[in-house]
Amino acid sequence: MKSGKRPGQDWTDQRSVQESKKEGAMAKLTFRTDECKGCGLCVDACPKKILRISPETINKKGHHPAECIDESACIACASCATMCPDCIIKVEK
């Protein structure tokens, strides 16, 4: 399950963290930020260190969600999605 999606999950509430403006972008990360509890496991798992816990955003659960700070540097390894205990991260090539 590289995408982090469990059967029956709906991605209609998804929010693309950042739209890549570069030609030929390799990956697109999508976080269901309202369901993120800000545990930081994805941040620690990212080999490119492009994820962080947002210091200014608070979701509806009262947590600071994870976010990508440089989607153009993403290599689509899906380590973040694999580590996420709530499967809120979707990685697309």
Q: pLDDT by residue (tens digit) across 20-40?
A: 444 455 789 999 999 999 999
SS3 label, residue 51:
strand
Q: pTM for the whole thing? A: 0.72
Domains of the chain: 26-92 (3.30.70.20)
8-21: burial string, b at 16+ Cβ within 10 Å, e else = eeeeeeeeebbebe
Q: Given this model, what pLDDT does residue 39 score?
A: 97
Q: pLDDT by residue (tens digit) across 42-69?
A: 999 999 999 999 999 999 999 999 999 9
What distance in Å separates the CA atoms of residue 90 and residue 11, rounded to the nearest whole number?
A: 9
- Name the β-bridge partners of 51: 68
Tell which residue, 84, 92, 79, has the closest CA to residue 19: 92
Q: Which residues contact 56 (CB under 8 A, 6 or more apart)?
A: none
